[in-house]
Structure 1
Amino acid sequence: MKWFITLWRTLNKPAKNLTLGAISLSAFLMGIIFWGGFNTALEATNTEAFCISCHSMESKPYQELQSTVHWSNHSGVRATCPDCHVPHNWSRKIGRKIEASHDMWGWLLQTVNTEEKFEAKRLEMASREWKRFDRDNSLACKNCHNYDSMKWDEMSKLAQKQMKRAAELDQSCIDCHKGIAHKLPDMGTSRAPELIAQVGSGESSLTVGESYFSALTKPLFFNEKTDVEAGTLNIATKVKVLEVKGQRAKVGIDGWRKKIGAGRVIYFDFGMNILSAQLSKDAALEPGVMEVFEEQQDPLTGLTWQRVEAQIWVDGDYLVKDLQPLWDYARDTYSSSCSVCHTQPDEAHFDANTWPGMFQGMIAFVNMDQDTQALVQKYLQEHSSTFATSAH
Structure 2
Amino acid sequence: MKWFITIWRTLNKPAKYLTLGTISLSAFLMGIIFWGGFNTALEMTNTEAFCISCHSMESKPYQELQQTVHWSNHSGVRATCPDCHVPHNWTRKIARKMEASHDVWGWLLQTVNTDEKFEAKRLEMASREWKRFDRDDSLACKNCHDYASMKWESMSKLAQKQMKRAAEIDQSCVDCHKGIAHKLPDMGTSRAPELIAQVGSGESSLQVGGTYFTALTKPLYFNDTTDVEAGTLNIATKVTVLETQGDRVKVGIDGWRKKVGAGRVIYYDFGLNILSAQLSKEAALEEGVMEIFEQKEDPMTGLQWQRVEAKIWTEKDFLVKDLQPLWDYARETYSTSCSVCHTQPSEAHFDANTWPGMFQGMIAFVNMDQDTQALVQKYLQEHSSTFDKSAH
TM-score w.r.t. length of structure 2: 0.98
Look up the match of 2:359.
Answer: 359
* Aligned equivalents of 1:9, 1:230: Cα separation in 2: 86
Cross-structure match for 2:30:
30
How far apart in 1 are the matches of 2:41 and 2:110? 24
Aligned residue number for residue 158 of structure 2: 158
In structure 2, do the counterparts of structure 1 residues 228 and 22 end up closer, same or farther at CA, with 3 Å as the change threshold?
Answer: same
CA distance in 2, matches of 1:291, 1:325: 31
Once the two structures are superposed, what CA deviation does each residue of 1:328-381 show, in whole Å capped at 9, x if it has no partner? Answer: 111111111111111111111111111101110111011111000000000000
Does residue 236 (structure 1) correspond to residue 236 (structure 2)? The answer is yes
- Using a 3 Å threshold, how does the CA distance of structure 1 residues 178 and 302 change in structure 2: closer, same or farther? same
SS at match of 1:94: helix
SS at match of 1:96: helix
Amino acid at match of 1:284: A
Q: Which residue of 2 aligns with 1:330?
A: 330
Establish whether residue 272 from structure 1 lines up as the match of residue 272 from structure 2.
yes
Q: Distance in 1 between matches of 2:6 and 2:123?
A: 53
Q: CA deviation at 1:246?
A: 1.2
Give the letter for the 2:64 counterpart.
E
Counterpart check, 1:197 vs 2:197: yes
Distance in 1 (CA, whole Å) between partners of 2:79 and 2:341 is 34
Aligned to 1:124: 124
Q: Indicate the residue corresponding to 2:90 in structure 1.
A: 90
Q: How far off its partner does 1:4 sit?
A: 5.8
1:317 is matched with which residue? 317
Deviation at 1:6, TM superposition (A): 5.3
**Match for 2:365: what amino acid?**
F
1:111 aligns with 2:108: no
Distance 1:56 1:139 in 2: 26
Q: Deviations over 1:160-188 (max 9, x none)?
A: 00001111111110110000000001111
Distance in structure 1 (CA, Å) of the matches to 2:13 and 2:244: 80
Counterpart position of 1:80: 80
2:351 counterpart letter in structure 1: D
My pick for the range that moved more, 7-16 or 53-62, is 7-16
Aligned AA (2:339): S
**Separation in 1 of the partners of 2:41 and 2:113?**
26
In the alignment, which residue of structure 1 is the partner of 2:102? 102
Q: Distance in 2 between matches of 1:13 and 1:134?
A: 54
Which amino acid is the alignment partner of residue 28 of structure 1?
F
Task: Call closer, same or farther: CA 1:2–1:224 in 2, change over 3 Å.
Answer: farther
Deviation at 1:7, TM superposition (A): 4.5
Q: C-alpha separation between the residues in 2 aligned to 1:60 and 1:28? A: 45
Superposition map of 1:1-392 within 5 A: 7-392=7-392
Provide the rounded CA distance (Å) in 1 between the counterparts of 2:74 and 2:374: 41
Between the aligned partners of 1:177 and 1:53, the Cα distance in structure 2 is 27
**CA distance change for structure 1 residues 17 and 165 in 2, over 3 Å: closer, same or farther?**
same
Q: For 1:7 and 1:262, how far apart are their aligned partners in 2? A: 91
Higher alpha-carbon deviation: 3-12 or 106-115: 3-12
User: Which AA in structure 2 matches 1:210?
Assistant: G
Residue 263 of structure 2 aligns with an amino acid whose one-letter code is: G
Letter in 1 for 2:368: M
Amino acid at match of 2:160: Q
Measured against aligned partners, the alpha-carbon deviations of 1:190-245 in whole angstroms (never above 9, x if no partner) come to 11111111101111110111000000001111111111111110000000001111
Per the TM alignment, residue 5 of structure 1 is displaced from its structure 2 partner at its CA by 6.0
User: Sequence identity, in percent?
Assistant: 87
CA-atom RMSD in angstroms: 1.2
| Cα distance in 1, alignment partners of residues 124 and 159 from structure 2 | 30
Give TM-score, length-normalised by structure 1: 0.98
Partner SS for 1:272: coil
CA–CA distance in 1 between the matches of 2:39 and 2:17?
Answer: 33
Do the aligned partners of residues 5 and 82 (structure 1) sit closer, same or farther apart at CA in structure 2, a change above 3 Å counting? farther
Once the 2 structures are TM-superposed, how far is the Cα of residue 389 of structure 1 from its aligned partner? 2.9
Deviation at 1:269, TM superposition (A): 0.2
Unaligned runs of 5+ in 1: none
State the distance in 1 between where 2:151 and 2:88 align. 26
CA distance in 1, matches of 2:203, 2:11: 62
- CA deviation vs aligned residue, 1:139-172 (integer Å, no higher than 9, x gap): 1001001111111111000000000111111111
Gaps of 5+ in 2: none
